[in-house]
């Protein structure tokens, strides 16, 4: 039997050198494909029997044998053999030892090239589904936390400088928006992996009358690939999935950064249960946000996975090349890194406690309602740029007086513009200032409640 990916056969004298075996083998990482390899092989065997290419009793023996081999390999009752290079040859070898020639008929009409392409697509689709579920779980935790803090306030920041007051719920719901986009991108990447390449052979399909559509439907694909050369060498679906994962990890990194800030003694906006923190080996007073930092740090790792895969692909000629074996580890690493990060991020959000008195204290200092002064004057007919200048002058006056804007006497306001009257003090109340921003996407209470309800309704349909 031909083994297109460099496996030894009677064509070759002797075996690979020991160091060559180490580099050539992929079983140390592609064992993850075991359930997908078995599923693909069972679908292929059933199709071969349906088409009259192999006896139906052989197909039945192959199916039962494969299920037994899968169970025993997964349980550690059978050993992986690095000399057999990969998951595919290990499974086939154990199967043939178990059921004899029936097992040797399994590879009829396929190559390891289209086999691994199929396995990787099945892996990508299943992992994308799991990641989507974990994203929804984190979103649910964020939305639930936001629902508890609709009436609490937090400084909104630009340039890490206090800018304008917002509801704490509005800030938390911003991450829901990021994760919703991440969900969509991963869903799209899953869809792009929806064509089955099995039947493409090594590069030029096969002379056997395969029913490719039957296999695709049995494996849950949306259809089949339409060019055998492209099908065996395509890893675009992996590039797209890793790219979506990398951006999601970047969003988690931003969340991790904010947790680090909020938990710091400088901010003191929140506390986190010790199950998600670590101590110092030398300073007993320390409670370090190590898990938030690790999530932040892992963004570089996943971005590196994407760069690795793009670099592997960039110079390859058409069809299969052994370089493509290097596409697997970045995919596995990216998936597993994001999976772990999503679980930890969800746990941290579920255990996060805000010091709302502290966040309100931060809102009430730093002249965060200065924009309200300008907006007030605009409502009286003054052009915004003039209003902005007057508001800036009043901030300077408040700084000189050592007080907040709301503590200035009306005379100070009127010294800058006769348009001011007592109504300005209502404009400077934080809750009023926030709730005047009553537009779609704004932080007003009614808008936040509507967004929370919208997210809860959507998640109720998705999270099981």
pLDDT number for residue 17? 82
- DSSP letters, 56-108, are HHHHHHHHHHHHHHHHHHHHTSS---GGG-SHHHHHHHHHHHHHTHHHHTTTT
Domain boundaries 363-462, corresponding CATH code = 1.10.40.30
Interacting residues of 174 by C-beta distance below 8 A, sequence separation 6+? none
- CB environment 398-415: b (16+ within 10 A), e (fewer): beeeeebbbebeeebbee
Q: Are 232 and 202 in contact (CB under 8 A)?
A: yes
* CATH topology assigned to domain 18-108: Fumarase C; Chain B, domain 1 (1.10.275)
Pairing of strands 195-196, 161-167: unpaired
Active site residues: 159, 280
CA 125/CA 220 separation, integer angstroms: 10
CA 272/CA 188 separation, integer angstroms: 35
Q: Are 86 and 30 in contact (CB under 8 A)?
A: yes
CA angle 388-390-391, nearest 5°?
65
- List per-block mean pLDDT (blocks of 10 residues) for the chain, which spans 464 residues: 48 74 87 98 98 98 98 96 93 97 97 97 98 98 98 96 96 98 98 97 97 98 97 97 98 97 95 85 80 96 98 95 94 98 98 97 95 96 96 97 96 96 96 96 97 96 66
pLDDT number for residue 21? 79
pLDDT number for residue 400? 97
> In this structure, what DSSP letter does residue 288 have?
B
Block residue for tokens 């793009």: 310
- Domain 113-356 sits in CATH 1.20.200.10: yes
Phi, psi of 165 (to 5 degrees): -75, 145
Q: Are 50 and 43 in contact (CB under 8 A)?
A: no
Q: Which two tokens stand for residue 181?
A: 């986009």
DSSP β-bridge partners for residue 271: 353
| Domain coordinates in residue numbering, the chain | 18-108, 113-356, 363-462
> In this structure, what DSSP letter does residue 196 have?
E
User: 278: helix, coil or strand?
Assistant: strand
Phi, psi of 149 (to 5 degrees): -125, 30
Q: Report CA 266 to chain centroid distance, whole Å.
A: 30
CA 247/CA 226 separation, integer angstroms: 30
């Amino acid at each position: 039997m031909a083994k297109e990916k460099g496996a030894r056969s009677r064509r070759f004298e002797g075996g690979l050198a020991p160091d060559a075996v180490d580099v050539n083998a992929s079983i140390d990482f592609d064992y993850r494909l075991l359930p997908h390899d078995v599923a693909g092989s069972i679908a292929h065997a059933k199709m071969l029997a349906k088409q009259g290419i192999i006896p139906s009793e052989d197909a039945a023996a192959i199916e039962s044998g494969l299920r037994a081999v899968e169970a025993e390999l997964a349980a550690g009752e059978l050993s992986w053999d690095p000399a057999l290079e990969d998951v595919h040859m290990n499974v086939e070898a154990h199967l043939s030892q178990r059921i004899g020639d029936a097992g040797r008929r399994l590879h009829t009409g396929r190559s390891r090239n289209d086999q691994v392409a199929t396995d990787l697509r099945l892996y990508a689709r299943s992992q994308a589904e799991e990641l989507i579920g974990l994203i929804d779980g984190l979103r649910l935790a964020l939305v639930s936390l936001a629902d508890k803090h609709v009436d609490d306030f937090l400084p909104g920041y630009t340039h890490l400088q206090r800018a304008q007051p917002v509801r704490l719920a509005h800030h938390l719901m911003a991450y829901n928006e990021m994760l919703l986009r991440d969900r969509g991108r991963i869903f799209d990447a899953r869809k792009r992996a929806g064509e089955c390449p099995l039947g493409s052979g090594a590069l030029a399909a096969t002379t056997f009358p395969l029913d490719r559509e039957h296999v695709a439907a049995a494996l849950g694909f949306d259809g089949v690939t339409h060019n055998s050369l492209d099908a065996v060498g395509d890893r675009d679906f992996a590039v797209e999935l890793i790219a979506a994962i990398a951006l999601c990890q970047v969003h988690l990194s931003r969340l991790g950064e904010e947790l680090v800030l909020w938990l710091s003694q400088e901010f003191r906006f929140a506390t986190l249960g010790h199950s998600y923190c670590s101590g110092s080996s030398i300073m007993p007073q320390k409670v370090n946000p190590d898990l938030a930092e690790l999530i932040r740090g892992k963004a570089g790792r996943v971005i590196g996975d994407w760069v690795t895969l793009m670099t592997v692909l960039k110079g390859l000629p058409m069809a299969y090349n052994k370089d493509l074996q290097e596409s697997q580890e970045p995919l596995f690493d990216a998936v597993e890194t994001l999976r772990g990060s999503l679980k930890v991020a969800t746990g941290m959000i579920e255990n996060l406690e805000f010091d709302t008195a502290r966040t309100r204290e931060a809102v009430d200092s730093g002249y965060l309602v200065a924009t309200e002064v300008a907006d007030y004057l605009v409502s009286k007919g003054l052009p915004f740029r003039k209003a902005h200048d007057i508001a800036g002058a009043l901030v300077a006056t408040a700084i000189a007086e050592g007080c907040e804007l709301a503590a200035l006497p009306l005379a100070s306001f009127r010294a800058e513009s006769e348009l001011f009257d007592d109504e300005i003090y209502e404009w400077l109340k934080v809750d009023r200032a926030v709730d005047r921003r009553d537009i779609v996407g704004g932080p007003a209470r009614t808008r936040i409640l509507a967004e929370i309800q919208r997210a809860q309704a959507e998640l109720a349909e998705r999270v099981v």
